[in-house]
Amino acid sequence: MTENAPDRARTRFPGISSRAYEHPADRSALVALRSLSGFDVVLRKLSGLVNERALRLMFLGGTVRVGENQFRNIHDMVRDAAYILDLQEIPDLYVKQDPTPNAMAIGSDHPFIVLNTGLIDLLDEEELRFVIGHEVGHILSGHAVYQTMMQILLQLGSRLAWLPLGNIGIAAIIIGLREWFRKAELSSDRAGLLAGQDLDAAKRTMMKLAGGTRLGEMSSEAFLEQAREYDAAGDVRDGLLKFLNLLPQSHPYAVIRFAEIDRWAREGEYERIMAGDYPRRADDDGASVSEEVRNAAKSYRESWERTADPFVGRVRDMADAAAGAAGGLFDRFTRRDPGPTDRSN
């Protein structure tokens, strides 16, 4: 682990757990996965189906690996983000010639980051720092590993699509996984803010992803109002159309991400972490599955109560009942087996 401090005074978070910034729906899924006995062994076996060495060689041969002598400023940003979030191993980062503004964290044993030139050309230094912190957050949360595993499971599951109702079953799995991926993106946006500690830069990033570089033609207040208008929709039909539009997306829309990071910063959790009040990695083994499931259900209820979407209003009662049933199921399970799955109860 590097002992070099960031290029300017930023707060560091020694021993921070990814639970500090993870969206409740993302966190409950990860806590449940991590608590399963033998899960790590299965995970490594499944991850082994993808040749990480071949992937790394592909990027080593076809892209530019950042370092002291190549993209030095980006190398410093990765180092700083790892230092601030107390990531034990500084990940490699490769710059790929691709005009699409995108970045990703991939791999299992030694995850690494790939950054497209389209994103470098689009963003200024502080915005880019936010994006790199976002990707380091994916690595700290284990998203790179879990997403790799989930993709493998999807590929294996697609072979069963010929079975009766198989396509419906696979589609349901894909919908569920994409919902988790979108929540994981919201988690990593928070990690990006913690790494860069510049809320305006985080917001500018979302605006540029939606409308390009001409920030002089945009307004953060108007963009937030646009997010509110998107949330409110027009009627139940519009709400259903939004839902259907979002299903194939791997990321939430930029206006949603803008509104979410603005709300997270305004409601005090960001300030508490900045002040040193955050869960530590050393306590991760004691995280409660049932508590995190209840937190996820609470988060969804709160988001439903905030939204003005009439479609959500129509399904709220049914979803609340389902969430309550899920919480009760976990409660019964943990009462029967109060072992390592839920050590805090």
- Amino acid identity at 264: W
Amino acid letter, 309: D
135 flagged as catalytic: yes
Please choose, from the candidates 285, 123, 270, the residue with its C-alpha nearest in 3D space to the C-alpha of residue 197.
270
Chain centroid offset of residue 148 CA: 14
Strands (E), 34-185: 64-65, 93-96, 103-106, 112-116
Structure tokens at 215: 């920030």
Alpha carbons 271 and 20: distance in angstroms, whole number: 12
Q: In what order do the strands lie in the sheet with 93-96?
A: 64-65, 93-96, 112-116, 103-106
- The catalytic position among 127, 135, 260, 292 is 135
CB atoms near residue 271 (< 10 Å): 11
CB 308 within 8 A of CB 232: yes
Q: Which two tokens stand for residue 141?
A: 């949360």
Among candidate residues 76, 57, 103, 111, the one with its CA nearest the CA of residue 5:
76
DSSP code for 97: -
Torsion of CA 265, 271, 276, 282, to 10 degrees: -30
Spatial CA neighbour of 212 closest among 135, 127, 93: 127
Q: Which residues are catalytic?
A: 135
